[in-house]
Amino acid sequence: MNQLTLFTVATPAEGVLPRRSVADGHPIGPSDPAISVVTDFTREHPATVDEDRQIDDALADMIRAGVRALLVVKDHRIVGLVTSYDIQGERPLQFLQSSNYTRHEDVRVVDVMTAWPELVAIDWRSLQGATAGDLLRLFQESARTHLLVIEAEGSGDGCVVRGLISRARLERQLLGLRRTG
């Protein structure tokens, strides 16, 4: 029998989560179930960021985690979603022009994120009968890069964020089928 040994982590200043594979997910077709492209938070821990984190640090977090979006949290509640497009696009410049700040380092996630009330979500139950093709059409019609998947709580007063769907991942998985097929 192998013997396990404990050791002290002395060298690294911090630990990081493993990077996800860029080719995550298996190839799918348009008629495959939509749930096959959901990052299901009952199975995978969501990638999150504090709303006060500096945007360059949040982008570095995304790169380390191999994701293009982070759920934004405040006091253990989801308050928005920030994507790599939000950070690398026009939003930081727009914020700086409309604020009293002048330095890029002053821009925080909260300044460029999409706030909770503006996020688009799909209900977990309705997703059960949808196909990958249905999702692709929804993305094309909404011009969104990500969709939340929500599930009603038992009391009916709130919802649980059950997962996240990435348009880029969906398109990669659909393209993967064309490449292998």
> Could you tell me the pTM of the whole model?
0.80
CA distances from 48 to 65, 111, 147 (A): 10, 16, 15
- Return the minimum-mean-pLDDT range out of 5-19, 51-65, 68-82, 167-181: 5-19
Q: Does residue 8 lie within any of the structural domains?
A: no
In a domain, 175, yes or no: yes
Instruction: List, for residues 86-105, the tens digit of each pLDDT value.
Output: 999 999 999 999 999 989 89
Alpha-carbon torsion (8, 10, 11, 15), positive or negative: positive
The rounded distance, in Å, linking the Cα atoms of 84 and 60 is 10
38 within domain boundaries: yes
Query: What is the span of the domain harbouring residue 78?
Result: 34-180
Instruction: With respect to residue 174, please indicate whether it lies within any of the assigned structural domains.
Output: yes
Within its chain, how far is the Cα of 7 from the centroid?
A: 34
How many domains does the chain divide into?
1
In a domain, 62, yes or no: yes
Residue 15 lies in a domain: no
CATH code (residue 51): 3.10.580.10
Instruction: Answer for the pair 109, 58: CB distance below 8 angstroms, yes or no.
Output: yes
